[in-house]
Structure 1
Amino acid sequence: MTPDSGNNSDGRQPAALSDLDGLRALGETEFTALDVLCRSLHVTNADLEGTLLAILNAATAAISGADQAGLNLFAGGRFEPQATVGSAPPALDALQQHTGSGPCIDASRDQVRIHIDDCATDQRWPKFAAEAVRLGIHAMLCVPLWVDDRRLGSLSLYARATGAFDDAAKRLADLYATHGALALLEAQRADQFQRAIDSRDVIGQAKGVRMERHRVTADQAFTLLKGASQKLNLKVTEVARSLAATGEFPRVHGATPSP
């Protein structure tokens, strides 16, 4: 694979604002779209799904030539499509997951920007390119999403026209990806925080059941939950969720925790 030019030696993109002269190629329309984009991504209490869709909808509006888009995460060595705009990205994502090969995977894994000027003539991913053309996609731009040392995945832009992404579109995509990555990380943290709150609540409910049933303190009730968790080889939250909902521990073959 030969990544698109303009990358740093470690595969990451150079800072989008390090060369302000390069941004002069952007017209008023692109700057206006970028302004809307930056404001729309910072929505208080935005849920993860809503944030992902906002990123993709803003991308197709802000970046000239982009007709469809997809956002992918790469975690634990796995390529995980998260959200799409348009009909082609889901099919192309599924193909990449099946074959383990494609521009979105490479951009996510290696954190490089990948540009396909003409899918009909690109030879790097033959099966992917053939399917893209069949679906009416003739050009692509995949931009890595990362924050500090966290490699999040990639943003993939799809165009019906060949040669759709010029240098100005690439620069705007790099700048856009920075904002998109920050918004995605913020949404992930908010989602994780909410999950932590939910887990704390359900554990509190389960502790209440144990305290009522066995007349024990809160600390003793939590110790009982941890003991059941270890015996059942389940997370404490899973044990707590079953206990809070049914008053009983989960039933696992070969394991029978105390009532």
Structure 2
Amino acid sequence: MSTSPDMLAPPQDQDEIWSVADHIARGLRVEHADVSSTLGAITDVAVATVPGTTCAGIIVADTDRHLTPMATAGSIPLELDELQRHLGHGPCLTAARKQVVVHIEDMAADHRWPEFRGGARGLGVESMLCLPLQIDDRCLGALSLYATSAGAFDQRAELVARVLATQAVLAMAESQRTAQLRAALDRRDVIGQAKGILMERHRITAEAAFARLSAASQSVNRKLVVVAEQLVATGVLPGPA
């Protein structure tokens, strides 16, 4: 069944929860983290930290809200992600699309996704916990935890998983921002190189070189950075001679 936040009992040992949160934060601290490394760290920490977890997987939403498997700890999540993609529904997709926690306590007794249930039990999965990953109103995807026994995820496990999901969202958002910044710097660098080539070749100013790049971009209907990359790679500026 899906579980709402107010159904969770408060932690009996606040020190233990803070200790778990600190352990999770340390586990997600990846030096020079790119998105792929961050997602891999999240699934590894999930298996190591959330009681009962046998394996874990993350599906990520792109700008068009398409959901794609991006990281797994163990082979089972990828197989079940592919099954859900084929069926068009399932617990992981529901958690991501509706931004709700999906808890399957006993796969044998859960009848919401019968075709998925058969595939999951065939791989030895008897319980699951799927948590949405969102920041503000933006859906980042879902983190799914798998166990080989029914009832593996009790209230403490769900609480730890929620702490992990919160930390994971922050780590994912930061790695995505870093990736966007790196891409922007790379684009600026290649455009600068292309301008330098034109300035040297035609003895023109930086402004005039940029104008030539812009004109070439419009004439061939390609992004300016693509035109710049072609010029840097081949020495040829696309467009009319």
* TM-score (norm. length: structure 1): 0.85
| Contact kept in structure 2, 1:25 and 1:168, CA below 8 Å | no
Structure 1 portions without partners, runs of 5+: 8-17, 251-256
| Contact kept in structure 1, 2:30 and 2:41, CA below 8 Å | no
The yes-or-no answer on 1:168 pairing with 2:166 is no
Cα pair distance change 1:157/1:20, threshold 3 Å: closer
Residue from 35, 48, 51 that aligns with 2:22: 35
Q: After superposition, where does 1:132-211 map in structure 2 within 5 Å?
A: 132-211=120-199
- Between the aligned partners of 1:132 and 1:20, the Cα distance in structure 2 is 26
| Contact kept in structure 1, 2:60 and 2:142, CA below 8 Å | yes
| One-letter amino acid matched to 1:243 | L
Q: Percent identity at matched positions?
A: 46
| One-letter amino acid matched to 1:48 | V
Q: Deviations over 1:58-94 (max 9, x none)?
A: 1111100111011111231311111111010111111
- Between the aligned partners of 1:242 and 1:24, the Cα distance in structure 2 is 62
- Between the aligned partners of 2:117 and 2:214, the Cα distance in structure 1 is 52
Q: After superposition, where does 1:220-239 map in structure 2 within 5 Å?
A: 220-239=208-227
Provide the aligned length of Structure 1 versus Structure 2. 240
Residue from 44, 55, 58 that aligns with 1:57: 44
- Between the aligned partners of 1:141 and 1:189, the Cα distance in structure 2 is 28
Q: Which residue of 1 aligns with 2:105?
A: 117
Q: Which residue of 2 aligns with 1:12?
A: none
Does the residue aligned with 1:223 lie in a helix, a strand or coil? helix
- Between the aligned partners of 2:119 and 2:7, the Cα distance in structure 1 is 37
- Between the aligned partners of 1:95 and 1:248, the Cα distance in structure 2 is 47
| Contact kept in structure 2, 1:26 and 1:168, CA below 8 Å | no
| Contact kept in structure 1, 2:9 and 2:155, CA below 8 Å | no
| Contact kept in structure 2, 1:74 and 1:109, CA below 8 Å | no
1:105: Cα distance to partner? 1.0
Q: Deviations over 1:192-248 (max 9, x none)?
A: 111111111111111112222222211121122122222222211111111111112
Does the residue aligned with 2:58 lie in a helix, a strand or coil? strand
- Between the aligned partners of 1:246 and 1:44, the Cα distance in structure 2 is 35
The yes-or-no answer on 1:258 pairing with 2:220 is no
Q: Which residue of 2 aligns with 1:242?
A: 230
Structure 2 portions without partners, runs of 5+: none
| Contact kept in structure 2, 1:69 and 1:158, CA below 8 Å | yes
* TM-score (norm. length: structure 2): 0.91
Does the residue aligned with 1:120 lie in a helix, a strand or coil? helix
